[in-house]
Amino acid sequence: MKTCLKVATMALMFFVVTLTINAQSANVMVGGEAMLPAKNIVDNAVKSKVHTTLVAAVTAAGLVETLQGKGPFTVFAPVNDAFENLPEGTVETLLKPENKATLTKVLTYHVVAGKYDFNALAALIKKGTKSVTTVSGGKLMIKMNGARNIQITDENGAVANVSTYDVYQSNGVIHTIDAVLLPKM
């Protein structure tokens, strides 16, 4: 009986170790690169080929150190195409040193203090919460659009869809979105 119990215990331990290894190796892919949960938001974002404009903007705004900090943060990260869909010259204008304050406001409007993965956001919506407050102090409206889709609407009525959920980081979570969200200026 003791031998059978030992064998069962060892089999269970092997199963748990295997599950842990498999979970760790199942990293989310963004921009053709694996996003590693042990890395922080910036360390992962710089690897993504679809977030180069966002990374350049975060650098220009001087937010790299902040987003490498302890957090936790939830970042709604627009892809390069989202920036390209802004009116011509918008990105170039925002990246100018004299517009750093405006750029910072736009970027921190994409960040919410706390770690809100899909399940946490969906739970807020089910409880009746219709918005989240961003680090910039603005509001992002959130709503379900289907069983597994959350839409985010900015203060101007523009809508972003999440294309990749739950990219876990050591200091929070990133959701990739298809539009740049703009606060009221």
The enclosing domain of 61 has a CATH number of 2.30.180.10
Look at residue 158 and tell me if it is in a domain: yes
Query: Residue 35 pLDDT more than 70?
Result: no
Mean pLDDT along residues 51-78 = 88
Look at residue 95 and tell me if it is in a domain: yes
Mean pLDDT along residues 129-139 = 95
| Domain, as residue range, for 47 | 28-177
Look at residue 69 and tell me if it is in a domain: yes
Q: pLDDT band for 14, please (50, 70, 90 cuts).
A: very low
* Number of domains within the chain: 1
Look at residue 21 and tell me if it is in a domain: no
Look at residue 170 and tell me if it is in a domain: yes
Output the pLDDT for position 140: 97
Look at residue 172 and tell me if it is in a domain: yes
Look at residue 22 and tell me if it is in a domain: no
% of the chain surpassing 70 pLDDT: 81
Query: 183: closest CA among 121, 112, 115, 110?
Result: 110
Instruction: Calculate the average pLDDT of the chain.
Output: 82
Query: 100: closest CA among 140, 130, 57?
Result: 57
DSSP states of 58-92 as a string? HHHTT-HHHHTSS--EEEEEE-HHHHHTSPTTHHH
Mean pLDDT along residues 154-160 = 96
Look at residue 182 and tell me if it is in a domain: no
pTM: 0.81
